[in-house]
Amino acid sequence: MSDIDSIRLNFSPESLMLLNAILAIVMFSIALDLKPSDFRALVRTPKALLTGMVSQFLVLPAVTFAMLLVTNPQPSIALGLILVASCPGGNISNFITHRAGGNTALSVSMTGIATVAAIFMTPLNIAFWGNLYEPTRAILRQTTLDPVSIAITVFFMLILPLTLGILTNVRLSDFAARIRKTMQRISMAIFVGFIVVALAANWGFLQSLALTVAGLVVLHNALALSSGYLSATVMRLSDYDRRSITIETGIQNSGLGLVLIFAFFGGLGGMAVSAALWGIWHAISGLALATVWSRSEARR
């Protein structure tokens, strides 16, 4: 076993439970902005939504596979990138889309629907692409990758808080309006704080391993953003929708990725470092792109 895979990051079972709870709170706060009518409106005009889902769950994993064939990284790093590409859009994508002047309603709906679809699509993509890429096949064979357990994890972390948030917004709209902004700020602050503490606890490991993985993460994220942009362009969507789909494809739920890595892969070093660096870099690249786009109004 290589050095990177012999490393186990400082991430206790208690920390894992805390991250689960934090991600659930973040999803609940996002769902306070959602109503069933948001989904119905997109069903009536589904082109942008379907393009986003295809970009998220089909194009990005396929592009990831092609990148791995070219770069041939260490198997655990490769599987970490496959796993990140198999996750739904990240929790900060809605905030970044808003800053970028994109279609925030589309972004929020994509996050919600992709989160529901992740119950099936995330384990399916991990198993399919991980087995198709020969170097990662051995890791999957040594791992008990139970789709039902992954579905249960996704349900309690993402689906349940999403449902509760929507119900709160519908049934207790005045209460939801009062707590919405505060909840979103608090949940994001807690999430960022957790990441900072986790990074500090593992800084020595990350410093020694970052150069091994960082270039691949930056390239992978650039390909993810490009995939979203090109998918929307090929489908001739407006600039308004294209910004949303670009960001939704390029901002992955690496927090969910970390939970799955520690729950099902024993915190395998290459996978964990890949997901952790993704969690840092996609926020940087997403905010940088949003800053550029915010200087011009999107055409609708």
Answer whether 109's CB lies under 8 Å from 268's CB. Answer: no
Domain ranges (residues) in the chain: 3-293
Using DSSP, how many helices (H) and how many strands (E) does the chain show?
A: 16, 0
pTM to 2 decimal places: 0.81
Show pLDDT as tens, one digit a residue, over the chain (300 residues): 345 555 555 555 566 667 667 777 777 877 777 777 766 766 776 899 999 999 999 999 999 999 999 999 989 899 999 999 999 887 678 778 878 888 877 887 888 788 888 888 888 999 999 999 999 988 888 776 667 777 777 777 777 888 888 888 888 878 888 877 777 777 767 766 766 776 666 666 666 666 678 889 999 999 999 999 999 999 999 999 999 999 999 999 887 888 788 778 877 778 888 888 887 788 888 888 988 998 887 777
Largest CA distance in the chain: 56
* Tokens 């150069």 found at: 211
Half-sphere exposure of residue 3, counting CA atoms within 13 Å on the CB side? 5
DSSP letter at 8 equals B
The CA distance from 106 to 109, in Å, is 5
Right CATH for 3-293 from 1.10.580.10, 1.20.1530.20, 1.10.274.100, 3.40.50.300: 1.20.1530.20
Q: What are residue 89's phi and psi, to 5 degrees? A: -60, 150
Q: What are residue 72's phi and psi, to 5 degrees? A: 50, 60
The CA distance from 227 to 168, in Å, is 35
> Which residue in 261, 265, 255 sits closest to 24, CA to CA?
255
Contacts for 105 with CB less than 8 Å, ≥ 6 apart? 38, 41, 42
Question: Across-strand partners of 254?
Answer: none
Type of residue numbered 3: D
